[in-house]
Chains A and B, each alone.
Chain A
Amino acid sequence: MENNLIVSVSPHVHGKRTTSNVMLDVVIALLPAAIAGVVIFGINAAILCAVCVASCVVFEFLFTKLCHRRTTVGDFSAVVTGLLLAMNVPATLPIWQAVVGSFIAIVIVKCLFGGLGCNFANPAITARVVMLIAFTGTMAAAVPPKAIADSVDVATYATPLSVLPAGLESETVTAFMEQTSIMDMFLGVRGGALGETSAAALLIGFVYLLVRKVITWHTPVVFIGAVFALAFAITGDMTMALYYTLSGGTFIGAIFMATDYVTSPSTAKGKIVFALGCAVITTLIRFFGSYPEGVSFSILFMNILNPYIDKWTMKKPFGGVKA
């Protein structure tokens, strides 16, 4: 009997958190926005979500098999990447492009850098950026919500961010605001990627993540708050600032992409610096860059700075003296 005793290093109890239940929580938190995407843009949204999730999981499985590594699909991180990627593409994206995007996210950005925990940039964000450049036509397409698809000219329909820069006095902006109220913007009845439009659904996911203590409030609140403040400072108008904040990928970026554990800082201070950086770059691109939207670029850029931010914002060891 006594030879059966396990001797191991303390502690001998672990908490209930596991990587897979953290990832599962993120999937659950993404569901309201995914469902909103299907309601707003139609069944194509659901198909794209399924395709991206399936191809991400398959790519990860094949890669680990090919490299004779322990398969990691059980931790659901590939599911998260797939779902996030799908939510970042327009509902009309061709299926094959979604598969290519999944390949970029999982194989190139994640697995080639060593798999879970070793990628320096967020796989879904990087894939989105690559696709935006490679498939500009389909990725930047302004897909109108189902509800107004019959009443608008699809050929001239535009996403908020391509309209807003004309300024409050311009007729197109007035017409756009008449067509899409602040409430529509909040609920997500506007053009954009299939999972990014509904701030309401994304906020439900945010609250869930907070309650489950998967993430802290710092990054999303600072990111969204700073985007709003900067937009207000530049336009000098509350309505315009609100439209800007609710446009593009601010909410999905701030809540789900900029909070990615692997590619964002660990401490509260670091998260605030990271979020501020994201908001500033997003705003600079939106107002002064040649792309209408800057959330993906800003997060990718801050991902690259992350090791430095993490280093500079690390806590000081308790009572530690200089070596």
Chain B
Amino acid sequence: MSFFGIKGVHVPHRKHTADCHPERMPIPKTVVIPMAQHIGAPAKPVVNVGDTVGVGQIIGEAAGFISAPVHASVSGTVKKIDTMANSNGGTMTAITIESDGEMRAHESVVPPTVTNYDEFVAAVRASGIVGLGGAGFPTFVKLSVKDLSKVEEVVLNGAECEPYITADTLTMTDRADDIFEGIQLLEKYLGVKKVIIGIEDNKPQAIKAMQELSKKDSAIVVKPMPAAYPQGGEKVLIYNTTGKTVPEGKLPLDVGCIVMNVTTLACIAEYVRTGMPLVEKCLTVDGSAVATPKNVIAPIGTSMKDVFDFCGGFKEEPRKVMYGGPMMGIAVPTLDEPILKNTNAILAFNDKDATLPDETPCIHCGNCINHCPLNLNPPAIAKALASGDGAEIAKTKVNICMECGACVFVCPAHRMIVHRNKLAKAELRAYQTKLAEQKKKEEENK
């Protein structure tokens, strides 16, 4: 590994909205709140059609350990509980609430009592907060540590390496106090001695705001990093801030790290202070088709269409609309898709930006290999995938691919590498399941 840390790809920044302070959008007429907005088991609906709900009321409770509760984001009446297509192609349950326009808080919204570690983790669990950087992993699970002495540092992710997105930047500049409160909570209840905030150096205002915090608390270290995608990838961030390598199949905690997005932490602090769960989200609205790009605070469940309308609608016909940034964002088939807890941006591209060049033959330039932050070999993965041999796919370690897309960005032949890696991962999972079954059978026969 390079002495200078993992290098990245120079993607265009396009941080047009870096100075746009978030604007709260008007209350939407209806919101559609999916029960699966996180990694893990979907929440279980606990309201019925016709029920009146208040803001912050639980409408879906966590179903299992790795799960998160879901709360009403507007006050009003439950209109529908049905299934909708999720952006991964599957289906999920969603609750439609018709807003009464009052935004009346539910009586359950009171600041939680937090006096020790267990109460703190319980509070984070009740807040419904999940990884807001994009992954959507229930945050309290990360904080559920068996042996607190093993936590050497918390790394706060303020890298925001995706083009366009500035939501985290604005959290750092506008909500620095919340972040500071959050850090104090971590110090108090988790006994954290060191907090590293990793920020790409194309956000000087955010670096400055965070450096102000480090003056107040010597445990806080601000680590500016070169603006090179994907600095915000978990393993990349850990390596570039602490020098530690997270082994395949292990978690950051196994090397003594807890990684958390800056906005996630700010939201935890807000919840502990106010008792209002995660019911709204600040997100960047941008892209070549959007009339007035800005940062918007929207209730969770607001349709993309309502948010785009708030930004002046479209100046050109949108041809591609996505959740998240252009490097890892998920393109959606309709503007009815709701804003989710982990939505940090929605982008709409015009025809020119939406159409990508066709794939041409691989010329073995090695760009993908030399730019992969995890040192994978995409041509070898493609070859293994074509062979259909699970053992060959396993050797390529495609399972550690985080689908950051750096390889595709630098590929002169526009090879669909991420697409193939996803397929290879699926093949690998099938192969491993088959192996496990075979092994089980053999043992039974013994």
CB distance from A322 to the nearest CB of B (A): 10
Tell me if A314 is interfacial: C-beta within 8 Å of chain B. Answer: yes
Within 8 A of B (CB), among A62-82: 72, 75, 77
* Binary contact track B399-428/A, C-beta < 8 Å → 1, others 0: 010010100111111101011001000000
Given the interface pairs A14-B357, A117-B362, A262-B363, the reply to whether A321 lies near B326 with Cβ below 8 Å is: no
Residues of B within 8 A of A318 (CB): 1, 6, 235, 239, 245, 373-375, 400
In the complex, whether A47 has a CB less than 8 A from a CB of chain B is no
A14-B357, A22-B365, A262-B364 known; A9 and B418 CB under 8 Å? yes
Q: Would you call B409 and A116 a contact (CB within 8 A)?
A: no
Chain B residues within an 8 Å CB radius of A77: 363
Contact between chains at B422 and A319 (CB < 8 Å): no
Within 8 A of A (CB), among B1-21: 1, 6, 9, 11-12
Number of A-B contacts (CB under 8 A): 169
Within 8 Å of chain A (Cβ to Cβ): is B317? yes
Question: In the complex, what residues of B have CB within 8 A of residue A2's CB?
Answer: 333-335
Point out the residues of chain A lying under 8 angstroms from B409, CB to CB: 11, 13-15
Instruction: Give Cα A235 to B422, complex, Å.
Output: 56
* Selected contact of B332 from candidates A7, A11, A265, CB within 8 Å: A7
Contacts known (A6-B320, A8-B320); A319 close to B363, Cβ less than 8 A: no
Complex CA distance for A318 and B397, rounded to whole angstroms: 9
Q: Is B253 an interface residue (CB 8 A)?
A: no
- Interface centre among B235, B320, B412, by most chain A C-beta atoms within 10 angstroms, is B412
Is A151 in contact with chain B by the CB < 8 A criterion?
no
Does the CB pair A266–B366 fall under 8 Å? yes
- Kindly list chain A residues whose C-beta atoms are within 8 Å of the C-beta of B365: 22, 261, 266
B188 within 8 A of A: no
Q: How far is the CA of A278 from the CA of B267 in the complex (A)?
A: 60
Given contacts A6-B331, A21-B412, contact A12 B349 (CB under 8 A): yes
B400 partner residues in chain A, CB cutoff 8 A: 317-320
Does B355 belong to the interface (CB within 8 Å)? Answer: yes
> Which of A7, A263, A314 counts the most chain B CB atoms within 10 A?
A7
Whether, in the assembled complex, A155 has its beta carbon less than 8 Å from a beta carbon of chain B, the answer is no
Partner of A266, one of B334, B364, B373, B411: B364
Q: A8-B320, A14-B356 are in contact. Are A317 and B418 (CB under 8 A)?
A: no
In the complex, what residues of A have CB within 8 A of residue B369's CB?
Answer: 266-267, 314-315
Q: Complex: how many Å from CA A75 to CA B412?
A: 11
Interface centre among B357, B369, B410 (most CB of A within 10 A): B369
A10 to B402, CA, bound (A): 12
Q: Smallest CB–CB gap between A18 and chain B, Å?
A: 5
Given contacts A22-B363, A314-B377, A318-B245, contact A11 B326 (CB under 8 A): yes
Query: Is there a chain A Cβ closer than 8 Å to B395's Cβ?
Result: yes
Enumerate chain A residues within 8 angstroms of B246, measured Cβ to Cβ: 319
Residues of chain A within 8 A of B394, CB atoms compared: 323
Q: Tell me which of B327, B364, B414 contacts A261 (CB under 8 A).
A: B364
Q: Which of B317, B329, B361, B403 contacts A115 (CB 8 A)?
A: B361
- Is A118 positioned at the interface, with any CB of B under 8 Å from its CB? yes
Q: Are B319 and A5 in contact (CB under 8 A)?
A: yes
**Are B319 and A18 in contact, with the CB atoms below 8 A?**
no
**Residue from the list A4, A5, A15, A321 in contact with B410, Cβ < 8 A:** A15
B354 close to chain A: CB less than 8 A = yes
A19 contacts the other chain (Cβ, under 8 Å)? yes
Q: What residues on B are CB-neighbors of A9 within 8 Å?
A: 416, 418-419, 422
Q: Say yes or no: B363 contacts A116, CB within 8 Å.
A: yes
Whether B376 is near chain A, meaning CB under 8 Å from some CB there, is yes
Cβ of B54 < 8 Å from any Cβ of A? no
CB pair A317–B397 under 8 Å, yes or no, is yes
Q: Is the CB of B403 within 8 A of A6?
A: no
A11 touches B408 (CB 8 A): yes
Instruction: Give the complex CA separation of A116 and B364 in angstroms.
Output: 10
The distance from the CB of A269 to the nearest CB of chain B, in whole angstroms, is 11
A320 touches B397 (CB 8 A): yes
Question: In this complex, which of A75, A315, A316 has the most chain B Cβ atoms within 10 angstroms of its Cβ?
Answer: A315
From 348 to 383 in chain B, residues with beta carbon under 8 angstroms from any chain A beta carbon are 349, 353-357, 360-367, 369-370, 373-377, 380
Closest to A314 in B: B377
A residues near B, CB below 8 A? 1-2, 4-15, 17-19, 21-22, 72, 75, 77, 115-118, 261-263, 265-268, 314-321, 323
Extra contacts, 15 of them, besides A10-B326, A11-B326, A117-B413 (Cβ < 8 A), are A4-B317, A5-B320, A7-B332, A11-B418, A12-B329, A15-B409, A18-B357, A19-B413, A72-B361, A75-B360, A314-B369, A315-B375, A315-B377, A318-B1, A319-B245
Q: What are the 3 closest A-B residue pairs judged by CB atoms, nearest first? A: A266-B366, A11-B405, A315-B375
Between A and B, 26 residue pairs with Cβ closer than 8 Å are: A2-B335, A5-B320, A6-B320, A7-B332, A9-B418, A10-B326, A10-B403, A10-B405, A11-B327, A11-B408, A12-B322, A14-B411, A15-B9, A15-B409, A19-B361, A22-B412, A266-B364, A314-B369, A316-B375, A317-B248, A317-B400, A319-B246, A320-B375, A320-B397, A321-B248, A323-B394
